[in-house]
Amino acid sequence: MAELKFGSEYFDAKDTLTCGQTFRFREVENGFKVFSADKACRIKTDGEYTYLYCADQDVEYFKHYFDIKRDYAGIFSSALSESEDILKKSAIVGKGIRILNQDKTETLFSFIISQNNNIPRIKGIIERLCTALGDKKEFEGETYCTFPTPEKMASVDVDFYKSIGLGYRAEYVYRLSKSICDGYNIQNLDSLSTVELNKQLLFIYGVGKKVADCVSLFGFHRSDAFPVDTWIEKVYVDDFNGTLKDRAKIAEWFVDRFKDNSGYFQQYLFHYKRIMEKSSKTE
């Protein structure tokens, strides 16, 4: 078992995991257990440091997964240099957030499942999917299930997906798994520009603009993508005095404004707005 230690100023385990970019994690007594594709790790932030525990052979995978090599101090400084007070406040509160480098196939399926869904329900569906179709492995003495291969996912029918709670999304997941088994290669999209990547994702049955933006940012790490949901729409209206009504156009507006920092700033703003709104409701 490997133990890695990183400064926590720009790497907070909880903020990174709970800001809506990933669903396969759970809080445990000593941090969080995180599952990605067929691998697992444990991570915790304790004071000035964030600690990562994983199998020796998975060290490079999780260093990449948590985007260790990127200069988040520079991204944070860029946010502080912008004119909008809301962005500065958001960056200060969310400076420990990192954008993960997730498995592309898992990310695509996960965000198709996420449509019109809340996070606890999304996590439950994905957990049931992994339990039913994934392989069993062990980490720190505990059995977990891997994210299933497209072949396993194509081996069951639409009714199975409905039985684990996907509802109308069942057809989307089934058709995508069949398409991948028939030769559709998600990895081939990596060479495309973000605009072209987005267009190609929109050709997938069941993928709309928000899902395409989420997959671009959280699966392909395209930082010039800006997913717009209810929270971001509120930021746009409340804090940027925006007048656009179409979320796709709002996303384009933010990307035009923040360029290659768009995705990082989106996470700062999303995290901050959600915290502020929830705290105001408890006062």
Q: Which amino acid is at 240?
A: F
Measured N-to-C along each axis, helices 169-181 and 104-113 cross at an angle, to the nearest 10 degrees, of 160
Q: How far apart are the C-alpha atoms of 211 and 203, rounded to whole Å? A: 12
**Which two three-digit tokens encode residue 147?**
């994210």
Q: How far apart are the C-alpha atoms of 102 and 116, rounded to whole Å? A: 22
Mean pLDDT of the chain: 96
pLDDT tens by residue, 105-148: 999 999 999 999 999 999 999 999 999 999 999 999 999 999 99
Q: Region 81-93: what's the mean pLDDT?
A: 97
Long-range Cβ contact pairs of 140-143 (< 8 A, separation 24 or more):
140/1, 140/33, 140/42, 140/53, 142/33
**Which two three-digit tokens encode residue 49?**
């440091």
**In the predicted structure, residue 277 carries a pLDDT above the cut 60:** yes
pLDDT tens by residue, 206-252: 999 999 999 999 999 999 999 999 999 999 999 999 999 999 999 99
Give the pLDDT confidence score for residue 281 in this predicted structure.
Answer: 59
Give the pLDDT confidence score for residue 276 in this predicted structure.
Answer: 84
C-alpha angle 161-166-171 in degrees, rounded to nearest 5: 65
Burial zone of 184 (CB within 10 Å; 0-12 exposed, 13-18 middle, 19+ buried)? middle
Q: Which residue has the tokens 């156009």?
A: 249
Alpha carbon dihedral 18, 22, 26, 28, in 10-degree steps, equals -60
**Which two three-digit tokens encode residue 53?**
């525990």
pTM summary value: 0.95
pLDDT tens by residue, 160-177: 999 999 999 999 999 999
**In the predicted structure, residue 82 carries a pLDDT above the cut 80:** yes
Q: Which residue has the tokens 């599952």?
A: 35
Half-sphere exposure of 221 (CA within 13 A, CB side): 11
Q: How far apart are the C-alpha atoms of 199 and 209, rounded to whole Å? A: 9
- Alpha helix stretches (DSSP H) within 114-154: 119-133, 150-154
Q: Region 192-214: what's the mean pLDDT?
A: 97
What whole-number percentage of the chain has pLDDT above 70? 98
Q: How far apart are the C-alpha atoms of 273 and 275, rounded to whole Å? A: 5
**Which two three-digit tokens encode residue 169?**
């999304």
Q: Region 259-277: what's the mean pLDDT?
A: 94
| pLDDT tier for residue 283 given thresholds of 50, 70 and 90 | very low
Q: Which amino acid is at 193?
A: S
Q: Region 3-30: what's the mean pLDDT?
A: 97
Give the pLDDT confidence score for residue 279 in this predicted structure.
Answer: 66
